Structure 1
Amino acid sequence: MEIRTGVIKIMDRLRSESRPRVTIGVVGPHDLVEQIMMIGAGLPAAADWRLVGAPHAEEHETYDKFSRIADSIDVVLFTGPLQHDLARQAGELTVPATFVPMSGASLYASLLRGVLTHGIDPARVSIDSLPAADVDEAYGEIGVSTAGVHLSEYDRPESARGFGAFHEELYRQGQTTAALTTIRSVANKLSAAGVPVLRLLPTSHTLRLALNTAALLGTGSRLEDAQIAIVVVELAASAKPSYSGPGNYWQQELKLSLHRSLLADARLMGATVAPRDENGYVVTATVGALGQATEGFRMAPFMDRIRSDVGVDVEVGVGLGSTARDADANAVAAVEKARNAGATAAYLVGGDGTVLSLPVRRRKRQDEPIVATKAAKLLERLVEGLHDGDSMVVDAEIVAEVLSISPRSARRVLQSLAEEGLAWPMPPVKGTQAGRPRQPYRLVRA
């Protein structure tokens, strides 16, 4: 019995160690980031995640702090809605994001602290950020009227810029005894101006819930990246040759052209392309990569490029599934639906049997010569900036250093070069730490 128990414990430990941990980035002011890190380390679920802190001194640093850790995390947890909205305004959030909500629960501790240590009158205060309904509920539970309570609700970052003046003016007019704010910079400015101020901080319970939400988002994103997508691409009936065989050179040219056209898009999503039969190919990718290439499955993959490059119609079926067999079966069912539709749209069959029609979306091509020229110039700048002896394999970090741009802009540069055939995406390289793998590219000199 003891041996059996020991074996079970060892197997449980091995399973726990082999289970990939979700990496959660925490972005916000120092005190809240430190508090979240401490709470997260002490929770039972701590074995399932790794926390990466990115504290800022001022709110305007939020996006910069996020960018520095974006490539090493699966999800980002901002310490409040202000940080979340500032980051979204400043640039692209490349990983799933959530934030710690502010609610009336944080009022109780702040008001009690204010009464005991500052002698404030809770019936005569100014409060920012919290919804009016939460304030009314909190005051109702402690039996205090809100007739003398002044509130300025949060509505995007623009509203937060007026919080300092809102609190100070009311205090100078004698209408309030203290200000309650959720924003650290506002609290610092009011304190410097001599206005009694209390910081509204989320409760430990709220922080635990926010961490669990972030972990679920990160896990969902990982599952999406791991789920398999199979795309079957077949020549439409109108494009198939009347006969096939080794002597039909037109058919062989057509297959080569179709293969090249498929590779142009497939390489951007890290997908593989293999012949399926004489008239078609199968593309294997992840759900996450294919979803990104099709704008969240709102447009058909490959069809527009093939029409432009090869001049023929194709039937496209997309199959999703947790295994290759399931995804392939769904792709076959999807291409059959596309065949019945006359190659006017691609079809997707999901793992749960959901069927979607994916229309062809025409790309804008009038600026292609200009784009190609810009891409070529970027390539020359990049190659010139590499030191002698450096290989032609680069990643976003190297490009950012050479061109003196942000990592986000560097990723866009590499994607542009890849679209023009001037860089070739290579298999991702898993780093020593948890997080998204590094994506290298091999530069291609024209």
Structure 2
Amino acid sequence: MDGLRSKIAVGVVGPHDLVEQIVHIGASLPSAASFRLVGAPHAGEHETRDKLAKIAGNIDAVLFTGPLQYDLATQAGELPVPATFVPVSGAGLYSSLLRGTLSMRIDPARVSIDSIARADVAEAYQEIGVPMDGVHVSEYHQPDSVRDFVAFHERLHREGATTAALTTVRTVAHKLQAAKVPVLRMMPTPHTLRLAINTATLLGTGSRLEESQIAIVLVELAASARPAQSGPGNYWQQELKLSLHRSLLAEARLMGATVAPREENSYVITATVGALSQATDGFRVAPFADRVRADLGMVVEVGIGLGNTARDADAHALIAVERARAADATAAFLVGGDGSATSLPLRQRRRREPVEEPAAGSKAARTLDRLLERLGDDPEAMVVDAESVAEMLGVAPRSARRVLQSLVEEGLAWALPPVRSSQAGRPRQPYRLVSRAD
């Protein structure tokens, strides 16, 4: 499996016969050892997007067998991987006319042709020395054009204006055969297919290189979430940093990233562009910020930097986090390798324990107000445990633990990591109260 994944994977989407031909030609190319073709044939053009979706997670690029398949796929939304298609040109016209002349006795000067541009047809006819006065052309512009191809060919044949129809579209050919209209299906030449395969593998190589670029994410506590006084003796700050680190690690592990403290109130996450792109829906939403808010009730500023080297990515991340700070952490910012900045909105994530917003007069809210009155505005005093709550409320420690749990369930407090002591017994479980200002 590792050997297969080291090759550039190119999906091939289109009619069965063309997909089979492309896979066969690809296997004979001198560069075949560096890529693999993943066939996804469809029975009809309407299946194009579904066939691509089934292989998208295992390919680096996709080659459509023609512009029709490419346009149908893009109409359904942005493509998940870089894409190209086999071009429709006059190159396949020569062999089709020759086959028709020899096997069907058609008159090449009296035919109808679809898909190919009129200029390409004129060039081909000029080269073979046949006049175009009796040649009718219907160009391809968009998928809707194909709907008119059958009527175009059939009308001309019924009027006696043509001896045969030439089409590039498999379904059009089948419908014309059913209507008893002589038809030839124009296929791309092997040379055209080889060029298209090479183009697709180059796209896949570029995509693989881009995914392996370095991405650096800086996550900083917003000024409003920082303690008034800092230092190794500030218990609340130490618990805050541990909780933030734990929350960042939970999301970083999903993308194979590393997390490390950078400064007193910031962390640096290092990942590949490909992994970070997957975690952010293709860089459509901000990473980390929503999880930290949901888990801890804190606001963080997030800046993402991309680059070919760690130095470039880090420099761009610093610029990005400054942009996030200027926006009051309402969005993350990404600065790409070219220096362009993009705003990434926060994803709306629910808390791990989804609860409704407590009413102002609820029992838990009233209990919180009582505790806040006793504690004041000191951030470090906002960290409590069952013993301190029991003393303030005049209840037993067991009742105090139930009080704290009810506050957590209603989003009015969050649990910090347990504090172990040298004495035997249960580790002390601290909680941070969430004030109205938070």
Per the normalisation by structure 2, the TM-score is: 0.68
Q: Is the CA contact 2:221–2:265 (under 8 Å) kept in the aligned structure 1?
A: yes
Which residue of 165, 185, 188 corresponds with 2:151? Answer: 165
- 1:20 shift after superposition: 2.4
Gaps of 5+ in 2: 356-438
**What amino acid sits opposite 1:123 in the alignment?**
A
Q: 1:357 aligns with which of 322, 333, 341?
A: 341
Structure with greater Cα Rg: 2
Identity of aligned residues (%): 71
Compute the displacement of 1:246 (Å): 3.9
Shifted more, 187-196 versus 206-215: the winner is 187-196
* Cα separation, 2, equivalents of 1:357 and 1:257: 30
Q: Secondary structure at the match of 2:345?
A: coil
Q: 1:59-92: per-residue Cα shift (whole Å, max 9, x none)?
A: 3343444344333322221211222333445677
Q: Is the 8 A contact 1:304 1:361 kept in 2?
A: no
Separation in 2, partners of 1:281, 1:203? 56
Q: Look up the SS of the partner of 1:138 in the other structure.
A: helix
**Distance of aligned partners of 1:316 and 1:223 in 2 relative to their CA distance in 1, 3 Å threshold:** same
| Corresponding residue pairs, total | 351
Q: Which has the higher contact order (CA 8 A, sep 6+)?
A: 1
What's the counterpart of residue 86 of structure 1?
A: 72
* 1:191 CA drift (Å): 2.2
Q: Which residue of 2 aligns with 1:196?
A: 182
Letter in 2 for 1:159: S
- Measured after TM superposition, the shift of residue 207 of structure 1 is 0.6
User: C-alpha deviations, 1:243-295, integer Å up to 9, x for none?
Assistant: 22344233234434544654575456453433223201111222123345556
What's the TM-score, normalizing by structure 1? 0.67
CA drift at 1:230: 0.9
* Preserved contact between residue 286 and residue 347 of structure 2 (Cα < 8 Å): no
Query: Where in structure 2 are the equivalents of 1:217-236 lying within 5 Å?
Result: 217-236=203-222
Letter in 1 for 2:138: S
Match of 2:42 among 29, 53, 56: 56
Query: Matches of 2:25 and 2:253 in 1, distance apart?
Result: 42
Task: Name the aligned partner's letter for residue 213 of structure 1.
Answer: T
Q: In 2, Cα distance between the equivalents of 1:295 and 1:47?
A: 32
Matched, 1:131 2:117: yes
RMSD (Å), alpha carbons: 3.4
Q: Look up the equivalent residue of 1:355 and give its one-letter code.
A: G
1:154 and 2:152 aligned: no
Q: Which residue of 2 aligns with 1:182?
A: 168
SS of residue paired to 1:211: helix
CA distance in 2, matches of 1:67, 1:350: 27
Q: Deviations over 1:324-367 (max 9, x none)?
A: 4553354346546766887677554545xx323333535568xx
Moved more, 115-124 or 219-228: 115-124
Whether the aligned pair in 1 keeps the contact of 2:320 and 2:333 (CA below 8 Å) is yes
Separation in 2, partners of 1:235, 1:68: 41
**Which residue is equivalent to 1:394?**
none
In structure 1, the gaps of 5 or more residues are 1-16, 374-446
- Trace 1:353-432 onto structure 2 (pairs within 5 A): 354-359=338-343, 361=345, 363=347
Structure 1 residues 83-92 or 133-142, which shifts more? 83-92
How do residues 176-325 of structure 1 correspond to structure 2 at under 5 angstroms?
A: 176-256=162-242, 258-259=244-245, 262=248, 266=252, 269-293=255-279, 297=283, 301-303=287-289, 313-324=299-310
* Closer/same/farther in 2, CA of residues 137 and 303 from structure 1, 3 Å limit: farther
User: Closer, same or farther in 2 for the Cα pair 1:260/1:131, shift >3 Å?
Assistant: farther
What secondary structure, in the 3-state scheme, does the structure 1 residue paired with 2:165 have?
strand
